[in-house]
Amino acid sequence: MSSVKDWAAPNPITENRGGLIGKGVDRYEGRLKVTGSAPYAYEVDAPSRPAIGYMATAAIAKGRIARIDTKAAEASPGVLLVWSHLNAPAQAPRGTRANPRSQRPSNPVLASDRIENFGQTVAFVVADTFENARAAANLVEIEYAAEPGVVDFVASLDQADQPPGEEDVHIGDFPAAYAAAPVSVDETYESPIQNHVQMEPCATTAWWDGDKVTVHTSIQMVKGGQHALAETLAIPSADVHLLTRYIGGGFGGKGQAYDDLILAALGARALGRPVKLAYTRQQMFHGTIHRPAVSMRVRLGAQPDGRLTAFAVEATTHCARNAIFTEHAANFSRNLYAAPNRLTGHRLVKMDLPGAGPMRAPGEAPGMLSLECAMDELAEKLGLDPIELRIRNEPEVDPETGKPFSVRQLVRCMREGAAHFGWERRKAQPRQVRDGRWLVGMGMAAAIRGNFLLPAKAGVRIDADGIITLRQGMTDIGTGTYTILAQIAAETMGVPMEQVKVEMGDSDFPPAPGSGGQFGAATAGSAAYDAGMNLRKALTELAVGDPNSPLYGGPAEYVTFENGNIAIENRSETLAALVARAAPEGVYVEGSISPAADARDYSQHTYGAHFAEVGVDVVTGEVRMRKMFGVFAAGRILNAKTAKSQITGGMIWGVGTALTESNVVDPRYGSFINQDMAGYLVPAHADIVDLDAVFLDEADDKANPMGIKGVGELGICGAGAAVANAIYNATGVRLRDYPMTPEKVLAGMLAVGL
Amino acid sequence: MKTTITVNGQARTLDVDSRTTLLDALREHLGLIGSKKGCDHGQCGACTVLVNGARINSCLSLLVMHDGDQVTTIEGLGTAENLHPVQQAFLENDAFQCGYCTPGQICSAVGMLQEAADGWPSQVMEDVAALVDLTEAEIRERMSGNICRCSAYPQIVAAIRSVAGDAA
């Protein structure tokens, strides 16, 4: 087990002699993407023309299929097969693992007559064309025996239980301290069901060669997908070759395998030809996971100087009855502000809705919508600036565990953000600034998101032409992974970017955990770095042991790698010359990373501060963004362009969270009424005005050998709260029910006499 | 039903199911995978192509409606070795992440630049009879039919501005 002490020593990444670390190089796969030539899962070349699959889905929330008639579908033109639960191929029972090391258990499709959620797959058609498959799927006749289901979250809050295996965290005596606090806030905030709405719907193309299946699918986790398919089909995972080279967005929603993967593989096996299958946009809303709604009660008790003495964040959320998941919306608050008396915890309602699961910054993203507004409310009661209130509650050590922070620049984020944004222009009293029909206001919020490192491996080879190829079972969901891995490999080996190839998204490659939890860059990157260091060792041994090398005889400890050369002072040769001569078949090594045992001795997070300026239309209640700015501290930044894009993308998600995004449940069917992109509104070009972000200089030597941290999720954390606080500052209307749509804002303005 | 369209300068005759959208004809029958299917309902813009020079959502249009039309897809704008100026600007400005909306954004931008040059007004113009000044607000308004869930909007606007500036 490694130690954080091992990570503190200088290394090629931290020394950055080639200057590639941090540089805003263009995306590695960029030319493929701007020319439309990157093949996504539905678009790959198969050995022969694929047949096309199409799913029919359930129209009730709960019950069973009383009768299903597929005769008309079977007789429809071009149809090759029609499956329902009556004739679907045998699959392993749900939740089983034939191989105990499988990362995901079996998840069979069409396994019984039971309906567990609206949109569940109830029939599968394969036909010669998309048009024929879709038409036939619509001919499947189904009669349901519906049963009452729990689909209304707010009406079911009284059914909430402690999540399995979890306890509330009590520190000090919260009830007594809260009762004694001279200034207090006790408010409840509601965030709705949200949907990932990745631009690329989930899709799979599958074909078989004997007992082995090849699947190209859109998934964030290579091994998880491979194992889920193998377990479900009850075949060895070695017989599943899973590829996921280009992924049209993930955001957590593609962290698991869905029915497209299972059905495409089963269909291809049954027909003896390639089959491909994509979710429709409507099916994505119900057939894949969503972020659950969260109801959050925040109680803050403070002294007149602003110091918090009592602090409670309690979150109630929901998940599907048979897929337990807890949105840990209170967790972030355990590390954010000092307060001696604390209570945090979660409650969970099991419902008959589609599955809840991780979506960009699970926990923090909805959770910060509550506390970061409650702090704004408390600041106003205290007559303090919201930044000053946060500074007065800045902890010296982790407020819950007492552990030291690895590095924490939250106060600097807030101060520098305030200066850059022009926070001094903000009027402490709300409703003071008017611009024509617009009321104008400013708000801010803090950002925190945990940092993680998981075990990973990577392989790297150098060939006789000097080209270095990094291979890893990692994914790039738009986050820039191809690019930052190429930068890491090139900087570690002292070669230009053009000399590096990155191959990913293949279950045959050394495994990495994939993209999620903003652990991807640190985890995959650290393994890639380690593989590079091992290649340096191998090439050093090769050179100093080769009588034909100018480096012959060493000393090995003086060997350097720069500008494509391996050198000892003025004795040098190119890597290509060395390999071509001494190892013409190439050199391949692997590397790995695992979390350091003593990393747990530190409280480790990424931080930021959001600033938002909005205009609120006094006639319609419409909120328009005017300006948004963020300052973030997230370790060493690998690529200025791609990291900033991650962060500003997250901030824009915060705008959607604050203003438009919400899936509304139809209580009759347990469905989402708004199940397409005209009804579920994500931000569009015109919604985003003057939005920018910067990173503070930082390196976190407790994080990993490179001192980097994740940036994929930090940007959304707190962003929506900054917008909500700006709406209050503009109007004097304190809304606590996201999203803050015109009808809610208008009702609030009418209530205060506007 | 036989339909002949000219795609990226090449005449192509297809005899496919009359329910086939222009998008599926391009993707499934002509192998032009650059045009993407994000919603199949004209809500996301990922399928945007140019028909007779004007941008349309190819998912909302049946192939059989386009007999004799000139269609330009992302593949017809440039190649990896010889990028169109808008493609080059997207690359340099990092105007994408996952890349799935990107061909549609680029085709839409090319169509939009021509619309602006031709004097088409927009919702945000104060004087709809005036010459179009492609400010950031104009670009945002005119590009709002193309969703980017990764939310690379600031970079997309910067990329288009750089091209619009060069052309002006």
Q: Is residue B58 part of a domain?
A: yes
By CB atoms closer than 10 A (0-12, 13-18, 19+), residue A304 is exposed
- Considering only the beta carbons, identify the residue of A281, A649, A653 that sits closest to B40: A281
Query: Domain end: B26, B56, B75, which one?
Result: B75
Q: Do A34 and B98 touch (CB under 8 A)?
A: no
**Model confidence pLDDT, tens digit, residues A461-484:** 999 999 999 999 999 999 999 999
Q: Do B94 and A26 touch (CB under 8 A)?
A: yes
Q: Are A310 and A181 in contact (CB under 8 A)?
A: yes
How many CB atoms neighbour CB A88 within 10 A? 20
Question: How far apart, in whole angstroms, are the C-alpha atoms of residue B22 and residue A325?
Answer: 41
pLDDT of residue A754: 83
H or E element, residue B157: helix B153-167
Q: Assess whether B6 and B58 both reside in one domain.
A: yes
Catalytic residues of A: 713
Q: Which residue of A has its CA nearest to B84?
A: A35
Residues of chain A contacting residue B157, judged by C-beta atoms under 8 Å apart:
685
- Considering only the beta carbons, identify the residue of A249, A678, A688 that sits closest to B154: A688
Nearest-CA distance from A46 to chain B in Å? 12
Domains A41-148+196-287 and A154-188+299-351+361-390 share a fold: yes
Q: Assess whether B89 and B71 both reside in one domain.
A: no
Q: Assess whether B36 and B98 both reside in one domain.
A: no
Q: Assess whether B61 and B41 both reside in one domain.
A: yes
Q: What is the mean pLDDT of residues A171-194?
A: 98
Q: Assess whether B96 and B61 both reside in one domain.
A: no
- Write the class of the CATH domain A4-38+455-594: alpha beta
Domain boundaries, chain A: 4-38+455-594, 41-148+196-287, 154-188+299-351+361-390
Domain that holds residue B131: 85-167
| Number of structural domains in chain B | 2
Q: Do A249 and B98 touch (CB under 8 A)?
A: yes
Q: What is the mean pLDDT of residues B59-66?
A: 98
Q: Do B35 and A688 touch (CB under 8 A)?
A: no
Q: Are A194 and A276 in contact (CB under 8 A)?
A: no
pLDDT of residue B167: 56
For residue A534, pLDDT beyond 60: yes
Q: Assess whether B103 and B160 both reside in one domain.
A: yes
Q: What is the mean pLDDT of residues A610-617?
A: 98
pLDDT of residue A191: 98
CATH number of the domain within which B102 lies: 1.10.150.120
Q: What is the mean pLDDT of residues B80-92?
A: 97
Q: Assess whether B11 and B70 both reside in one domain.
A: yes
Q: Assess whether B92 and B158 both reside in one domain.
A: yes
pLDDT of residue B166: 65
Q: What is the ipTM of this complex?
A: 0.98
How big is the CA angle at A574 (ends A573 and A575), to the nearest 5 degrees? 120
pLDDT of residue A440: 98
For residue A1, pLDDT beyond 90: no
Residues 6 or more apart whose CB falls under 8 angstroms from that of A570 comprise none
Nearest-CA distance from A674 to chain B in Å? 13
Q: What is the CA radius of gyration of chain A?
A: 27
Q: Which residue of B has its CA nearest to A251?
A: B150
- Considering only the beta carbons, identify the residue of A24, A27, A677 that sits closest to B147: A677
pLDDT of residue A26: 98
Residues of chain A contacting residue B94, judged by C-beta atoms under 8 Å apart:
24, 26-27, 30, 641-642, 645
Q: Do B44 and A38 touch (CB under 8 A)?
A: no
pLDDT of residue A2: 79
pLDDT of residue A747: 97
Q: Are A689 and A655 in contact (CB under 8 A)?
A: no
pLDDT of residue A291: 98
Q: Do A32 and B80 touch (CB under 8 A)?
A: yes
Residues of chain A contacting residue B144, judged by C-beta atoms under 8 Å apart:
684-686
Q: What is the mean pLDDT of residues A614-638?
A: 98
Residues 6 or more apart whose CB falls under 8 angstroms from that of A473 comprise A222, A223, A504, A505, A506, A507, A508, A509, A510, A511, A512, A514
Task: Say whether domain A41-148+196-287 belongs to CATH 3.30.365.10.
Answer: yes
pLDDT of residue A554: 85
The rounded percent of chain A whose pLDDT value lies above 70 is 100
| Average model confidence (pLDDT) across chain A | 97
- Considering only the beta carbons, identify the residue of B74, B141, B156 that sits closest to A36: B74
Q: Do A281 and B38 touch (CB under 8 A)?
A: yes
For residue A8, pLDDT beyond 90: no
Query: Domain end: B46, B75, B104, which one?
Result: B75
How many Å from the N-terminal Cα to the C-terminal Cα in chain A?
Answer: 63
The rounded percent of chain A whose pLDDT value lies above 90 is 98
Q: Assess whether B89 and B162 both reside in one domain.
A: yes
Q: Is residue B80 part of a domain?
A: no
**Model confidence pLDDT, tens digit, residues A711-749:** 999 999 999 999 999 999 999 999 999 999 999 999 999
Q: Assess whether B101 and B155 both reside in one domain.
A: yes
- Token pair, residue A549, equals 């090398």
For residue A530, pLDDT beyond 80: yes
User: pLDDT-based confidence at A149, cuts 50/70/90?
Assistant: very high
User: pLDDT-based confidence at B165, cuts 50/70/90?
Assistant: confident
For residue B168, pLDDT beyond 60: no
The predicted model scores a pTM of 0.98
CATH number of the domain within which B66 lies: 3.10.20.30
- Considering only the beta carbons, identify the residue of A36, A280, A642 that sits closest to B40: A280
Task: Say whether domain A154-188+299-351+361-390 belongs to CATH 3.50.50.60.
Answer: no
Q: Assess whether B70 and B137 both reside in one domain.
A: no
**Model confidence pLDDT, tens digit, residues A587-603:** 999 999 999 999 999 99
Q: Assess whether B29 and B59 both reside in one domain.
A: yes
For residue A276, pLDDT beyond 80: yes
Residues 6 or more apart whose CB falls under 8 angstroms from that of A349 comprise A150, A153, A156, A157, A159, A160, A161, A316, A317, A318, A319
Q: Is residue B127 part of a domain?
A: yes
Q: Do A652 and B91 touch (CB under 8 A)?
A: no
How many CB atoms neighbour CB A14 within 10 A? 18
Residues of chain A contacting residue B134, judged by C-beta atoms under 8 Å apart:
none
User: pLDDT-based confidence at A377, cuts 50/70/90?
Assistant: very high
Residues 6 or more apart whose CB falls under 8 angstroms from that of A604 comprise A405, A406, A450, A451, A700, A702, A703, A709
pLDDT of residue A562: 96
Pairing of strands A565-568, A560-562: antiparallel
pLDDT of residue A394: 98
Q: Which residue of A has its CA nearest to B144?
A: A685
Q: What is the mean pLDDT of residues A580-586?
A: 98
Give counts: helices (H), strands (E), chain A.
18, 29
